[in-house]
Chain A
């Protein structure tokens, strides 16, 4: 019981990176408001624009195309608002609620059983109807599955569609560049990369990078060149830029090996790894333990000192069936999966301890008669 906690829920919020902490502390020492004209304000402005240069250059947009927000959800909402004003919206079925529910009239586009977007279905949807805005994620938050973004953007271009990419989980953890993907906008979130909570960015390429092409949700004092009112959260923004730079410099292959080790151990214990046939984000895996409610797995691992998560936890804390796994065709097993997402600083011991605890849990619960853990 004296063993320390093991945090494996980085996709909910990653561990604060030292570089991000340093940048945040530096910004905390700065009293000024970036919009003020005095020396203190200019210092704050310099820090803000420094952060903007880092974020813009690492993600392949101009500084003009980088709009800081309060987080990933707001960044997605702003981009979908900007690009979708006069368009029908197509949304992948495994998208995060921040995207899936951003537009009530969105049309779902199915995924294949490995979790990648069904390109034939997308092409069909694009062919039937007026020009669209397509919204897909670079990497799925639950399974880590990567959508074939190049192929998707090619289809979008051919059909005159715009493309928005939710890069909240991908940014920092894999190469991601709007110019290379050839998308029109993207969203990122600071704390998913090891920065503070409370900052994100909507990134625009092409015509939408120009201020004045869309109205802000909140006008306020006209910050972010009229696209997002409200004083910028400088410490969170500075830490986001520092976290992104540090994450980009990291070699993720060792994290990927740890994740593969967890997958192997989980399979031996009777688990099915969702989306393992597709390319995935290095730190993420979704483990289905047939017949055992995700809720019980979560509680059991938490009591054993290990933090993981399940499908989607609503704000009440209730664990619901994963809409991602449902969309991938898992049926009832969609309520029997946990997500393991390794933090950037995971150690091989982290992975081995998790694998051990998972094996013990599966041995205790996985073999019990059907319905034993039958809380629906």
Chain B
């Protein structure tokens, strides 16, 4: 097969390229340039300037063609811009989902098709298993590396074309061992972490630069609209958090958390943590990887690093309604991914609850 290997310059995707080459495929390496090589790139996050050099060195070592694909403009608009917009709406976005969905699995995958490739492979830790009704997306063997939550928006057509050779790896040590076996200089390279385009550790700084209208201090109010404190900027808050609320806990006498964010009035709404959970989540932009009619009971994961919860689900137009067995706090903009065991059934983005909408309008 002719396969395009998406190479970030990290150890995972480098090993993928080597594995495919070893299996006898015609491998084409491609590295996305997502932002300028200069000051903005952070070492240790994917696709900085040095990462491009690393990817190229791996490609040279295994003698495959390698190309650098300029996706700066598209990344700026579809990932960073969308990220800032979401904060400006009072949501907590997941930029990696937007990046996988757009820059990687639409643009790069489209390019792979243009080049006559039969498949595109990435270094993601998920499994693509052939099921009775076509390919299925599953959690990887190594639960510690699971990236399925970030890939829920992969469409069936994309999944059909994609390959994830690392999904079967028992653990990261095994991947590094393979990298060592292949003689890759990146074998000991640290893993990428956090959000790749946040260079100084402050995502709020990026949001405030792109959406200056939400910059600035504002009020913290309770559910009745009473001002109970002040904050330094709404972009620093996520629904469900109890940090950055000053001495509110002692002042009110019980543990508080953010229950809603209103960027237009620069307001943070707080309420008692106890009893703040909800059982109904409305999801938008659902991506189904199973027949929705056949999904009633499932488990759901509503944060990147968290266990699953039992729930019932039903499709609702382009969205879905999830009813949790036990109440939980959920942040608007985050993903809610549906699982059956290891299989990803689909997922969507958590909408702001109607009660919050009313509260914010009040």
Question: A-side interface residues toward B, CB under 8 Å?
Answer: 295-296, 298-300, 302-303, 316-320, 364-365, 368, 372-376
User: Judging by beta carbons under 8 Å apart, are B33 and A374 in contact?
Assistant: no
Closest to A361 in B: B114
For B110-131 the 0/1 string (1 means CB < 8 A from A) is 1100111000000000000000
Contact A373 to B65, CB < 8 A, known contacts A316-B52, A318-B70:
no
User: Judging by beta carbons under 8 Å apart, are B68 and A375 in contact?
Assistant: no
User: Judging by beta carbons under 8 Å apart, are A375 and B74 in contact?
Assistant: yes
| B interface, size bucket | 20 to 34
User: Judging by beta carbons under 8 Å apart, are B68 and A374 in contact?
Assistant: no
Q: Report the separation of the CA atoms of residues A302 and B68 in the bound assembly, to the nearest whole angstrom.
A: 14
Within 8 A of A (CB), among B341-358: none
Q: Is B73 an interface residue (CB 8 A)?
A: yes
A372: which of B52, B67, B73, B110 is its contact (CB, 8 Å)?
A: B110
Enumerate chain A residues within 8 angstroms of B110, measured Cβ to Cβ.
Answer: 372-375
Closest to A364 in B: B114
Within 8 A of A (CB), among B69-117: 69-74, 107-108, 110-111, 114-116
Q: Report the separation of the CA atoms of residues A69 and B275 in the bound assembly, to the nearest whole angstrom.
A: 77
B114: which of A296, A302, A317, A318 is its contact (CB, 8 Å)?
A: A296
Closest to B72 in A: A376
Interface of A, helix, strand, loop or mixed by DSSP? mixed
28 CB-based A-B contacts, threshold 8 Å? A295-B111, A296-B114, A298-B67, A299-B65, A299-B111, A300-B114, A300-B115, A303-B65, A303-B115, A303-B116, A316-B33, A316-B49, A317-B52, A317-B56, A317-B68, A318-B33, A318-B69, A319-B68, A319-B70, A320-B70, A365-B114, A372-B110, A373-B111, A374-B74, A375-B69, A375-B71, A375-B110, A376-B74
Q: Is B279 an interface residue (CB 8 A)?
A: no
Enumerate chain A residues within 8 angstroms of B37, measured Cβ to Cβ.
Answer: 316
Q: Report the separation of the CA atoms of residues A365 and B52 in the bound assembly, to the nearest whole angstrom.
A: 27
User: Judging by beta carbons under 8 Å apart, are A375 and B115 in contact?
Assistant: no
A375: which of B52, B65, B108, B116 is its contact (CB, 8 Å)?
A: B108
User: Judging by beta carbons under 8 Å apart, are B70 and A295 in contact?
Assistant: yes
Q: Report the separation of the CA atoms of residues A365 and B113 in the bound assembly, to the nearest whole angstrom.
A: 10
User: Judging by beta carbons under 8 Å apart, are A295 and B107 in contact?
Assistant: no
Enumerate chain B residues within 8 angstroms of A365, measured Cβ to Cβ.
Answer: 114
User: What is the minimal beta-carbon distance from B153 to any residue of chain A, in angstroms?
Assistant: 18
For B204-248 the 0/1 string (1 means CB < 8 A from A) is 000000000000000000000000000000000000000000000
Point out which of B28, B70, B107 has the most chain A C-beta atoms below 10 A from its C-beta. B70
Q: Report the separation of the CA atoms of residues A376 and B71 in the bound assembly, to the nearest whole angstrom.
A: 6
User: Judging by beta carbons under 8 Å apart, are A372 and B33 in contact?
Assistant: no
Q: Report the separation of the CA atoms of residues A299 and B66 in the bound assembly, to the nearest whole angstrom.
A: 9
Q: Report the separation of the CA atoms of residues A316 and B33 in the bound assembly, to the nearest whole angstrom.
A: 9
Within 8 A of A (CB), among B133-166: none
- Name 20 extra pairs, CB < 8 A, besides A295-B69, A373-B110: A295-B111, A296-B115, A298-B67, A299-B28, A299-B67, A299-B111, A302-B65, A316-B33, A316-B68, A317-B66, A317-B67, A318-B68, A318-B69, A319-B70, A364-B114, A372-B114, A375-B70, A375-B110, A376-B70, A376-B74
B107: which of A299, A303, A364, A375 is its contact (CB, 8 Å)?
A: A375
Enumerate chain B residues within 8 angstroms of A372, measured Cβ to Cβ.
Answer: 110, 114
Q: Report the separation of the CA atoms of residues A295 and B56 in the bound assembly, to the nearest whole angstrom.
A: 17
